[in-house]
Structure formats: structure tokens, C-alpha cells
Chain A
Amino acid sequence: MSNYPLLSLAIWVPIVAGGIVLLTGGDRNAPLARMLALIGAVLGFLVTIPLWTGFDVTHGGMQFVELHGWIPRFNINYHLGVDGISMLFVLLNAFITIIVVAAGWEVIQNKVAQYMAAFLIMSGLMNGIFSSLDGILFYVFFEASLIPLYLIIGVWGGANRVYAAFKFFLYTLFGSLLFLVAQMYLFFQSGGSFSILDWHKLPIELGPQIWIFLAFLIAFAVKVPMWPVHTWLPDAHVEAPTGGSIVLAAIGLKLGAYGFLRFSLPIVPDAAQELAGLVIALSLIAVVYIGFVALVQADMKKLVAYSSIAHMGFVTLGFFMFSPLAIEGALVQMISHGFVSGAMFFCIGVMYDRVHSRQIADYGGVVNTMPKFAALFMLFSMANAGLPATSGFVGEFMVILAAVKFNFWVAFLAATSLILGAAYSLWMYKRVIFGDVANKHVEELSDVNGREFLILAVLALCTLWMGLHPQPFTDVMHASVNDLLRHVAVSKIQ
């Protein structure tokens, strides 16, 4: 299996498919564009499956490695590979791409080919991020993947999309520049290498480590997003079309978190240990502060956006407690959040397509007219609140248990999400779904159609599968997470 360049396929199949979809041109050919996009997305997913089936779970290092020279003069290489930390995200990304193509099927009637192509190309670029082992390659993918997202928000977005896109731009630009500076420092320090794996072995003094860590922290914290650099996310979600929100929540937020594991922890382990308290504090603020903020949102998308920030707080919290249970819990939380938040945004999209409002106050009693939808939305709301037997539980449970061992009060604050998560999820559910039919719009609602049902049912199965049997997911991670922790435990200061 590993003879095939699987990772290149995972990157380039969607991008090429996106290019082909673009060739269909205007909206006359929209049905063809949709069909080609679906084929491209499914192909893109199929080529990633051997990554999991052929994965050697006993091996913690990089697998499916591809190495070719790219810009030899600066020793920049086309260097790909995945380990137990990144592999599942490639699959998740390819899977979510199918979901978003299907989610935009009838809803998008304007510039269909461009819409579908943007998602396919973004999918390929994001796979590039998860599999790059070269700093510059990573950076190129990291920045390039933003362009389709800007376009998706800007072209197919809501009324206030310019402000949202500009805010996003301002935030990310700042982080990206610092990230690039840090990379250059590492390049010179390592005697001219952009290999991330070389940087892992590079000895660095504590002072520079701290600076590099902070540069990484800013770059990644914006993406996660962590408090207090999170305010772009609710605006971006509110303005994005449904598909954009799904990708942003399911994959976009994972890029920053992934950066911590690929860059911050292994490259500057001493600084990571030194400044773990800072990250943990920010994470706990995200869980508690954002939990309260989510509670009072009147806009459903903003509510789910804030809940995403709180859930990502668990991820960064898990990373910086440096134990296998915590890091694996955080990784599980990332994957689960991909399913659950994607499904939540899709659910809101289903209602928005019918009523054209995201305001909780415009709904009420939806269960009377959309019983099937209400049942599925219940499942995802409960998963969002971390109910056992759903994937939402697994990561939270692992991180909280690991936190008790780390420090009781950290666990105490993290566990408040049990209450806050249930409060904002169920309060929204109550106001939107339960009760008498609130108005004419709700009365006229039609239940989910076959396509919508299929999307939600697939996501529901994923959520339940991961909740009932997370073992296949964590199995993949063990060796790589253990390697990472062993590596972090060794000081790089000479």
C-alpha cells in the first residue's frame, strides 16, 4: 500500500477535482458541477482510507512518507508523512468534504461550480497542512487554505460578511507573520533545514525557546481560537454559509490545535513546560468564561460558535497537561468536535434554509412540524453537552480525569462544562424545538428531506460509534503520543 503516494493523492485529488469542477463554468452546468464535485469528494475520501487500514499502530514515527526536492537552493522539500496524531485528521477532513458538498447541494444556486471548487481545493490544502513535514510547505498550505475560506465567506456569506472577513484577516495576518519569523530563526539555527523533524531534534536555549513558543502560541491561538483572540470566530460563523461553518468548525479550528502538537511541544519543549500554566489558564478561561457567554447568545450560530471555543478549550487544556490520557483525550475531542459541531451547524442551516433566520426568538415548537429533525438535533445537542454514548463525552471525560490527576482545581473548573454545556445546549433546544408552534414560519416548516436526513444520519452514526467504541481511534494515537511525551520530557537546553 505504502508504495502509492497516498498523501499526495489525498492532497491533489480534491484540488484537481476542484479544478475540473471550475471548468464547468457558469450556472447552466450546475448539475454537472455538483455531480463532479461529489465524485471528487468521494474519491478524495476513498484515497485516504488506506491511510487508516494500512497504518502501523505500533510505530510512533512518520508513515507514508514522501520526500522530493522542491526548492533545492534553500533546502525546501516536498516532504509529507503522517503519524498517529495527524492521520485521523486527514480522514476527518476528507469525510467532512463529502458532507459539505452534499450540504450545499440544493441550497447553493449561485456560482455553484465556484462554490464546490472552493471546498474541494480547501480540502486538499488542509490535507497538505496535516501531512507536511517541511516548515515552508506547511506554511504555504496553512496560508493558502485561508483563501478559499475567505472566498466562501465573502461570496456566499451573509450581510455583514466584509466585517467578518476583515476581522479574520487582521487576526490571522498578525499570527502568520510571527510564525514565519519563528520558522526563519529555526532555519538559521538548524544550519539551513526546513524539516520539521530536524527542528524536533534541534537544541535551543531557554530564552529563544520562550520567544519561539510565544510566536507559535499567537499564530496557533488565533486559529484554535483561544481566549482572548477568539472574537473573529462568532462573526465568521454568522456570516459564513452553512458549508463554510461546517468546514471552519470541523477542520479549520483543528489546524491551530494541530500546530501545538507538531510545532510547539516538540520543538520548544522546555518553553512549553515553562509556559504550560499560561496556556492552561487561557484554556480554563475559554471553558468557563465562554460557557457563560454562550448561554446568553440569541443567535443560534453564535451560540454554537461560542460552544466551539469552549470545547476547543478542552483541547488546549489536554495538550498542556503532558499525560497520555490528556493528549489523547484532546485529540478525541478534536475529532468528535468535527462531527458534532459540523452537525450542529448543519442543523441550524436546515432551519435557516426554511425560515431565513438564525435568531432563537424566531423559532419555537419546531418539533411539531419537524419531528425527525427534532430527534436528530436532540442527539447532537446532547453530544454537544457531552452525554455518554456520544463522541462528545469521550474527550471531555478523558481530559477531566487527566486533569484531576494534574491538579484538582483545574479539573474542578474544567468540569463546570458539564453544567454549562448542558445549560446552553438544552436551553437553546428547549426554546427552538419544544413548545407550541410559535409562528407562521414554524407552522409551514417541512421536515428534513432525504438528502438532509442522510447527512444527519451519517453524522449521527459517527457520533454514536465514537461514543460507544472509541478504541479504534485511540489505538492509532498511542505510539505517537507516547513518543511525543517522551520527547517533551527531555530538555533541549544544553
Chain B
Amino acid sequence: MDMQKLYLLIPLAPLFGAMIAGLFCRVIPRWLAHTATIAGVAIAFAASVVVFQDVMAGNTFNGTVYTWMTSGDYIFEVGFLIDTLTATMMLVVTFVSLMVHIYTIGYMQEDPGYNRFFSYISLFTFSMLMLVMANNFMQLFFGWEAVGLVSYLLIGFWYTRPTAIFANMKAFLVNRVGDFGFILGIGLVLAHFGSLDYATVFEKAPGFASATINLWGDQQWSLMTVTCICLFIGAMGKSAQVPLHVWLPDSMEGPTPISALIHAATMVTAGIFMVSRMSPLFELSTTALSFVIVIGAITALFMGFLGIIQNDIKRVVAYSTLSQLGYMTVALGASAYSVAIFHLMTHAFFKALLFLAAGSVIIGMHHDQDIRNMGGLRKYMPITWITSLIGSLALIGTPFLAGFYSKDSIIEAVKFSSIPGAGFAYFAVLAGVFVTAFYSFRMYFLVFHGEERFGKDDHGHDAHHDDDHGDHHHGLAPGQKPHETPWVVTLPLVLLAIPSVIIGYIGIGPMVAGDYFKGVIHVDAAAHPALSHFLEHFHGAAAMGLHAFSTPPFYLALAGVVLSWFFYMKRPDIPAAIQRRFAAVNTLLENKYYFDKINEFVFAGGARVLGKALWRGGDIGIIDGLIVNGSARLVGWVATVSRMFQTGYVYHYAFTMIIGLLVLMTLWINRA
């Protein structure tokens, strides 16, 4: 088959499935909705495998599908760029999406919005594929916003829940703040490069390395710094970097399958993908890279802390996602783009696994999400238990598992980085290892080991989880036991557990050390040598795994696991005592550093106050009150006759107007 038709088929097959399930969601039976969408995504996955093999054989592609619009000297096109970076993303997206589609059959079986849900996740797959396959900034922005739309629809999937419809609006608006920067960045690219086509822009980029623009007064700013920071603000929104991270924890209001697909594995990594794609631009500005590494480091460490105190199983995983996104961003800042993509890939597998396993636990617990009500689940849910353990071990960086290779590579690369902020970032990612291990195994122990705390009369789970959604009865009744979930749920867990174990070992050689990304990701090794220094010490995947046992990250992770075991299995009184002892810190963490409160008060509240002030003061007070009605009164005062015109019959006014016109015409004709 013609490869170009195959490229086209990859996004269109899920779109077609989404249209069948979506447009006819009220008439078609459930089996048709899931068959159509799963078939679409399966086709996309199979085609992605073919494309991947073709790309590995050296056949890349950069071409136009159709001309979207021309204006002035600018041409805007819809087109595809197929190289190793795209092919990697396509595989990850379609594979995880396929797993999530299958899983959804089990997870959503009681939900009346079944068909609609399948339509949305297929539409998401289409949007995400358009994003990663884009060969220009316009289409990138297209996919960027389209995934945002689907995320909005899915977070608010249960549209009668007040928390869900608040969370989805919040997610969209915070993302829009990011897009605000992003579009300015795109505008700067178009204004200075005259094109939005990646290839053209990247080719011209080195010529602009020392270009400056005048932003304020006579101060000259580096063009590339301003452009890259604007673009990165977009990435901060989508990839939930501090301070635009606030939407991601709330996005857990959506059904669990989409938390796995969108808010962990794929969409939130779009920012990481974008910066990697733009590596020829970011490499030209060390200032921008410093900005990136600092933001990433803050996110990696401080969001990890929040994971420690969460009691909602999904929120623990969500903060873990934030922290891991911070790791990827740190890698970007250290110019280790290939490592960031590598971590993106391994993370996609084990985080999707952890989320889907969390969803499996939630089903087993009858939609109780509070880990304080769980415990000892390993007896009742063996497959979920084992796969969760694998996912957690991969996440904390156990040697030879997937997360180890990618995370250790990040830590090593940062160690060798010398850009401003790298020292702080190194500290943050090292400390983060301990924090990650601690919160991951806190959750693991509380859920799967220890005393069985479920089935009690009084379980104090958060009030907002047992609200009105009629089809979801919450929590286990007294005496009721959790149960393992059906095969459609456990099969994806098993299939995701496999890459969570092996993909790091397989991938690190070619993706990080090899020339897999040659010609795709550009690193200025002279200016930013961190990655090449790391690679001088790299002697194959096996050696790296063995070497790990003598490095700090391993012992930090081990310490985290042991400490969480000690705290939550042996001496549960200690964490409670710490909470009391350090009440101020605890309050700070429980309020998530007050980001939400500040945003709601300053930005949301401020906007409403300002809007009211402008409306009542400006429009109603000054413009209408003084000027419009004032002149009306003036007219009335000057000539009481005018009162006759205020008859309330509009045709009088209309008639007056015509008369006025005629009078004027007559006056003027007489003059002429």
C-alpha cells in the first residue's frame, strides 16, 4: 500500500470510529460503538507499526496533505512529518489508546454515556495523532487545542457533577493561558522566519541565533529566548508545569480510563514532545533552557511532596504524573531531548498501567477511591496487585525496569549539565527519587497490604465522591469483599506491564545512546554537552543496570520504600505524629501551596470584579449615564418639542429619519 495513504489512514480511522459512535450515539447499540472505535484505533496501531518499520528502514516523509489557506506571502498547510520522533509517538499513542479502549468496555459498562465515551476517546486519538504527525506549527496548534477540547469534554463527562464541570472549565482555561503564550511564540516564528513549516524554520534558525527584538524601550532581547519562552509557556499549560499545573489534579474528576490515556500517558506529554520537536530552536537559547530546567525542577520536586498526603488513589497517581512531567522537563532543559522522549515513552506505559490498575481497584471497591478504606486487596485482586507492583517498581526506578533507564538517564544528564539552574535541578531530581518511592509505596502498601479496612459502616471518604451520579454506588457494603475485575480490564493491565518491564532495557541503547533521533533532535553538543558527557560513561543497558546498585538514586529509592513500609505498615502512629508536629507544613501541603486559592481569589475573582467595574462604571455609568442619556436629556431640555417624538412608536422615529434625510437633501439641492 502506498505509504502516504497509510499516513492518512492512521488519524482518519479513529476519527471515523468517533463519528460513528458520536453522531449516532443515541441510536446504535453499545457493541457497535465499541467495535467501531476499537477497530479504528486497532487499524491506526497496526498501521503505526508498519510506518515505524518503514521509518526504521530509513524512509522518512515530509509533505503536504492540503493547503489550508494562503494569505499574503504566507502559506498555511496541513501536512505530515514522519520521522523517528513521530513514529515513536504514534506507537505510544495508538498502543495506549487501544489498551484504554478495551479497558473501557469493562470500566464503563454500567454508564449510560457508554457510546459517547467511546466517541470522545477515539476523537482524542485522532487529535493527538494530528498533533504528533504535524509538519508545521499551525497544525500543531490545531491538534494542541483539539486535544484540549476532548480533555474538556471528558473531564466533564459526568456533567451533572458540580466538581466535574468546574474542573473541566478550569482545565480548559488554564490551558488557554498556556496557549496564549504559545500563539505569541508561533506569531514570533511566523513574523521572523516567514513560514510555519518546521523544516523551513529549523533550517533558517541558526541564522537568527543572535537576532534581537525590541520589546520595551530601547532594551534588546534575544529573539530566540523570547520565542522559546513563549512556546514553552504553551508546553507549561499542556504538560502541567508549575504554576499552570493546577488543572491536572482536578482532571481526575473524569472517568479513570481517560485519566490514564489523556492525563498521564499522552496528552500531557504533548508539551514535552513539542519542545523536543523544537530542539533546533531551544538549542539557540541557553536562557530559555535555564527557564525550562528550573520550572521542571520545581514541578518534579514540589508536586512529588503533594503526592505524599493525598488519600484519593487517583490523586496520588496524578501528583506522581505531575512530578514525572517535571522530570521530563528537566531533561529538556538539560538539552537531553532524547532522554525526555525516552522517559515520556516508558512513563506512558507504566503510568497508564498504574492508572488503569487504580481504576481496577476502584471497580473492585465499588467506586470508593479513598486508600484509607482499602488494605489487603492483594488477596482479592491478584492480577491488579501484581501489575500494580510492577508499575510502582518501574516508576521508582528499580534497576532493569523501564522507569529506571529513563529516570537515571535524566539524573545523569542533569549532573553533567552546566547551564544556570542545573545545580538546583540536580538536587530536585535526586530528592525526587526518594519522594517518588515514598508516596508510590505508601499507596501500594495502603491498598494492597496490611489490615482490611473496607466494608466498615463508617468510611470517611471525601464527600464529593459520593454525589449524585445515580449509576455509581459508592463503597463496599459491610461484609462485602472486593472482587477481581473482568478480563477486559485485566488484559490491558497485563499488556501494559510487559513494556513497563522491558522497554527501558531495549530502548536505551538506540534511543539515548544510538543515532535513533539523528537528524530529528538537534543538540548543540559544544554549548550543551550534558548528554554527551553522560554517554561517555554509558556502556550498554546491562552495565548501567548493574552499576545502579552503587549509585545514590538506588539507595534513595530503597530508603523511600523502606520508610513508607515502616511508616504505614509497622508504625502508623508516626506519620500521624509528624502531621501534628509539623502542622504548618501539613496545612501548606493540604492546600497544595495555595495555588488554587490564589488563582480563584486573584484571577477568577479579580476578573469578575474588574468586569463588573468596567460594566457598571464604564458602560452604564459614564457612557450611558453621562453621555448617551445625558445628550438625550439635553435634547429634551433644549427643545421640549422633542418630547413629541418620544412617542414610543418606532415608525415615528423611522419616519423622522426619512424626513430628516429629505430636508437635508432639499437644502443641499437648493444650494447647488
> B139 to nearest A CB, angstroms?
9
Closest residue of chain A to B618 (Cβ to Cβ) is A289
Closest residue of chain A to B145 (Cβ to Cβ) is A388
Chain B's interface size range is: 35 or more
Q: Are B614 and A408 in contact (CB under 8 A)?
A: no
Known contacts A165-B650, A426-B169; A74 and B611 CB within 8 A of each other: no
Residues of B within 8 A of A231 (CB): 619, 623-624, 628
**Is B648 located at the chain interface by the 8 A CB criterion?**
yes
Q: Are B611 and A419 in contact (CB under 8 A)?
A: no
Segment among B186-194, B369-377, B405-413 that sits at the interface with chain A:
B186-194
Residues of B within 8 A of A423 (CB): 173, 176, 607
Q: Are B149 and A387 in contact (CB under 8 A)?
A: yes
**Is A295 located at the chain interface by the 8 A CB criterion?**
yes
List residues 62-112 of chain B with CB under 8 A from any CB of chain A: 66-74
**Is A46 located at the chain interface by the 8 A CB criterion?**
no
Greatest chain A CB density within 10 A among B138, B159, B187, B612 is at: B187
Q: Are B653 and A165 in contact (CB under 8 A)?
A: yes
Q: Are A389 and B184 in contact (CB under 8 A)?
A: no
Please measure, in the bound complex, the distance between the C-alpha atom of A368 and the C-alpha atom of B179, giving whole angstroms: 31
Please measure, in the bound complex, the distance between the C-alpha atom of A208 and the C-alpha atom of B297, giving whole angstroms: 61
Known contacts A150-B650, A167-B628; A435 and B159 CB within 8 A of each other: yes
Please measure, in the bound complex, the distance between the C-alpha atom of A150 and the C-alpha atom of B183, giving whole angstroms: 41
List residues 145-185 of chain A with CB under 8 A from any CB of chain B: 146-147, 150-151, 153-155, 161-162, 165-167, 169-171, 173, 177, 180, 184
Interface SS majority for chain B: helix
Residues of A within 8 A of B660 (CB): 173
Q: Which of A173, A403, A478 contacts B70 (CB 8 A)?
A: A478
Q: Which of A323, A416, A435 contacts B165 (CB 8 A)?
A: A435
Q: Are B611 and A292 in contact (CB under 8 A)?
A: yes
Please measure, in the bound complex, the distance between the C-alpha atom of A400 and the C-alpha atom of B177, giving whole angstroms: 15
Q: Are A418 and B657 in contact (CB under 8 A)?
A: no
**Is B380 located at the chain interface by the 8 A CB criterion?**
no
Please measure, in the bound complex, the distance between the C-alpha atom of A214 and the C-alpha atom of B488, giving whole angstroms: 70
Closest residue of chain B to A152 (Cβ to Cβ) is B650
Q: Are B179 and A325 in contact (CB under 8 A)?
A: no
**Is A10 located at the chain interface by the 8 A CB criterion?**
no
Q: Are B190 and A405 in contact (CB under 8 A)?
A: yes
Segment among A257-265, A271-279, A333-341, A467-475 that sits at the interface with chain B:
A467-475
Q: Which of A154, A170, A397, A468 contacts B631 (CB 8 A)?
A: A170
0/1 interface trace, chain B 640-672, chain A, CB 8 Å (1 if under): 000000101111011001101100100011001
**Is B213 located at the chain interface by the 8 A CB criterion?**
yes
> A83 to nearest B CB, angstroms?
17
Q: Are A418 and B179 in contact (CB under 8 A)?
A: yes
Q: Are B176 and A422 in contact (CB under 8 A)?
A: yes
Known contacts A150-B653, A475-B70; A388 and B187 CB within 8 A of each other: no
Q: Which of B177, B628, B648 contacts A170 (CB 8 A)?
A: B628
Residues of A within 8 A of B165 (CB): 430, 434-435
Known contacts A171-B628, A382-B149, A423-B607; A471 and B69 CB within 8 A of each other: yes
**Is B26 located at the chain interface by the 8 A CB criterion?**
yes
Closest residue of chain B to A475 (Cβ to Cβ) is B70
Residues of B within 8 A of A426 (CB): 152, 169, 172-173
Q: Are B612 and A404 in contact (CB under 8 A)?
A: no
Residues of A within 8 A of B74 (CB): 325
**Is B146 located at the chain interface by the 8 A CB criterion?**
yes
Known contacts A293-B619, A388-B146, A471-B68; A430 and B650 CB within 8 A of each other: no
Known contacts A324-B72, A388-B145, A418-B183; A292 and B632 CB within 8 A of each other: no
Closest residue of chain A to B190 (Cβ to Cβ) is A401
Q: Are A408 and B213 in contact (CB under 8 A)?
A: yes
**Is B156 located at the chain interface by the 8 A CB criterion?**
yes
**Is A350 located at the chain interface by the 8 A CB criterion?**
no
0/1 interface trace, chain B 199-233, chain A, CB 8 Å (1 if under): 00000000000000101000000000000000000
Residues of B within 8 A of A289 (CB): 614, 618
List residues 398-441 of chain A with CB under 8 A from any CB of chain B: 398, 400-401, 403-405, 408-409, 411-412, 415-416, 418-419, 422-423, 426-427, 430, 433-436
> B606 to nearest A CB, angstroms?
10
Residues of B within 8 A of A143 (CB): 657-658, 661
Q: Which of B149, B611, B654 contacts A296 (CB 8 A)?
A: B611
Please measure, in the bound complex, the distance between the C-alpha atom of A151 and the C-alpha atom of B653, giving whole angstroms: 10
Q: Which of A180, A388, A405, A418 contacts B191 (CB 8 A)?
A: A405
**Is B615 located at the chain interface by the 8 A CB criterion?**
yes
Known contacts A292-B614, A423-B607, A478-B70; A371 and B26 CB within 8 A of each other: yes
**Is B291 located at the chain interface by the 8 A CB criterion?**
no
**Is A329 located at the chain interface by the 8 A CB criterion?**
yes
Closest residue of chain B to A470 (Cβ to Cβ) is B69
**Is B567 located at the chain interface by the 8 A CB criterion?**
no
Residues of A within 8 A of B169 (CB): 426-427, 430
**Is B608 located at the chain interface by the 8 A CB criterion?**
yes
Residues of A within 8 A of B632 (CB): 166, 170
**Is A328 located at the chain interface by the 8 A CB criterion?**
yes
Residues of B within 8 A of A408 (CB): 184, 188, 213, 215
> A245 to nearest B CB, angstroms?
16
> A181 to nearest B CB, angstroms?
9
Please measure, in the bound complex, the distance between the C-alpha atom of A200 and the C-alpha atom of B189, giving whole angstroms: 36
**Is B142 located at the chain interface by the 8 A CB criterion?**
yes
Known contacts A292-B614, A436-B160; A412 and B184 CB within 8 A of each other: yes
Q: Are B71 and A329 in contact (CB under 8 A)?
A: yes
Q: Are B159 and A422 in contact (CB under 8 A)?
A: no
Residues of B within 8 A of A328 (CB): 71-72
Please measure, in the bound complex, the distance between the C-alpha atom of A389 and the C-alpha atom of B213, giving whole angstroms: 32
Greatest chain A CB density within 10 A among B183, B611, B614 is at: B611
Known contacts A143-B661, A434-B165; A293 and B186 CB within 8 A of each other: no
Please measure, in the bound complex, the distance between the C-alpha atom of A297 and the C-alpha atom of B614, giving whole angstroms: 12
Residues of B within 8 A of A329 (CB): 71
Q: Which of A170, A325, A388 contacts B72 (CB 8 A)?
A: A325
Known contacts A165-B653, A166-B632, A434-B160; A389 and B71 CB within 8 A of each other: no
**Is A204 located at the chain interface by the 8 A CB criterion?**
no
Q: Are A471 and B70 in contact (CB under 8 A)?
A: yes
Closest residue of chain B to A374 (Cβ to Cβ) is B159
**Is A14 located at the chain interface by the 8 A CB criterion?**
no
Please measure, in the bound complex, the distance between the C-alpha atom of A154 and the C-alpha atom of B654, giving whole angstroms: 10
Q: Are A474 and B190 in contact (CB under 8 A)?
A: no
Known contacts A231-B619, A293-B614; A470 and B72 CB within 8 A of each other: no
Q: Are B173 and A422 in contact (CB under 8 A)?
A: yes
**Is B516 located at the chain interface by the 8 A CB criterion?**
no
0/1 interface trace, chain A 106-129, chain B, CB 8 Å (1 if under): 000000000000000000000000
Q: List 14 A-B contacts (CB under 8 A).
A: A154-B651, A154-B653, A161-B650, A162-B648, A167-B628, A170-B628, A292-B615, A296-B615, A398-B71, A401-B183, A401-B187, A403-B187, A409-B215, A419-B173
Closest 5 pairs between A and B when the two form their complex, measured CB to CB: A154-B650, A404-B187, A324-B72, A405-B191, A296-B611
Binding site for A on B (CB under 8 A): 26, 66-74, 138, 141-142, 145-146, 149, 152, 156, 159-160, 162, 165-166, 169, 172-173, 176-177, 179-180, 183-184, 186-188, 190-191, 213, 215, 468, 607-608, 610-612, 614-615, 618-619, 623-624, 627-628, 631-632, 646, 648-651, 653-654, 657-658, 660-661, 664, 668-669, 672
Known: A408-B215, A470-B69, A474-B69. 7 other contacts (CB 8 A): A180-B664, A289-B618, A292-B607, A293-B615, A388-B146, A422-B172, A436-B160
